[in-house]
């Protein structure tokens, strides 16, 4: 059984370790745990992780956040992966830093990456893991905040949560979205 796991972020050294790139961080951690290495592919860096007789095609779109849907649609088609086996990992300013929420479907919540995916797939019915990055910014400075680097305090909160996010991904591919939500969304 195959799954597409897509960590959202922006390519380029200037975006490394920014709040907006938490999807890339989780994808990297998943690949590292599976002893897999990302290689450049069409519209994304891609790797494969085997977990409990499942193949996880893990991608980091190279389209920049606002065009993530193009890469997601391409890789779903190329790998012939059904929509119910798609998991998007993304940042969320509506959640406090470090809070993790798995959802079976939903809107874009003002997130341009999710908006692009919804536009390209023509549906909101896909699983997403929302990683809280907080919203400690003044009005009109949201872009600077999400593209800003983690503070030391935020890093102390986020580093253990990256490991938990990897556990959520593995749970999703093992026992499904509903049971995984019941286990992890209550914590």
Catalytic residues: 20
**How many angstroms separate the CA atoms of 168 and 151, rounded?**
25
Q: What is the pLDDT of residue 185?
A: 86
**pTM of the entire predicted model:** 0.94
CATH fold for domain 2-184: Rossmann fold (3.40.50)
As a whole number, the mean pLDDT across the chain is: 93
Average pLDDT over residues 21-26: 94
Residue % of the chain over a pLDDT of 90: 71
A 10 A CB-CB count for 38 gives: 16
Closest CA to 147 of 133, 159, 161, 158: 133
For position 162, what pLDDT does the model report? Answer: 94
Please identify which residue in the block is written with the tokens 């086996």. 85
Give φ, ψ of 183 to 5 degrees.
-80, -50
Mean pLDDT of 43-72: 96
146, pLDDT greater than 60: yes
Closest to 11 measured CA to CA, from 21, 26, 1: 21
Residue 154 has pLDDT above 90, yes or no: no
Residue 147 CA to residue 71 CA, distance in Å, equals: 21
Lowest mean pLDDT among 28-37, 98-107, 141-150, 165-174: 141-150
The residues spanned by each domain of the chain are 2-184
Sorted by sequence, the CB contacts under 8 Å of residue 74 that are 6+ apart come out as: 42, 43, 44
Task: Output the CA torsion sign for 144, 64, 73, 132.
Answer: negative
Question: DSSP strand E in 33-141: where?
Answer: 39-41, 44-51, 54-61, 86-92, 100-103, 127-132
Mean pLDDT for 108-116 is: 90
Average pLDDT over residues 96-100: 91
């Amino acid at each position: 059984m195959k799954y597409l796991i897509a960590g959202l972020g922006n390519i380029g050294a200037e975006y490394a370790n920014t709040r907006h790139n938490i999807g890339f961080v989780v994808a990297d951690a998943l690949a590292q745990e599976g002893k897999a290495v990302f290689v450049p592919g069409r519209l994304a860096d891609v790797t494969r992780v085997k977990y409990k007789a499942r193949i996880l095609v893990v991608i980091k779109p190279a389209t920049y956040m606002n065009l993530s849907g193009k890469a997601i649609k391409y890789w779903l088609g190329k790998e012939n992966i059904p929509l119910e086996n798609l998991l998007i990992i993304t940042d969320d300013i509506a959640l406090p830093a470090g809070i993790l929420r798995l959802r079976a479907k939903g809107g874009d919540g003002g997130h341009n990456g999710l908006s692009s995916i919804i536009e390209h797939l023509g549906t909101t019915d896909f699983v997403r893991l929302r990683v809280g990055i907080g919203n400690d910014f003044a009005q009109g400075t949201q872009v600077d905040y999400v593209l800003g680097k983690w503070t030391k305090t935020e890093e102390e909160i986020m580093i253990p949560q990256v490991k938990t996010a990897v556990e959520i991904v593995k749970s999703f591919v093992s026992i499904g979205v509903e049971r995984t939500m019941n286990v992890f969304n209550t914590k």
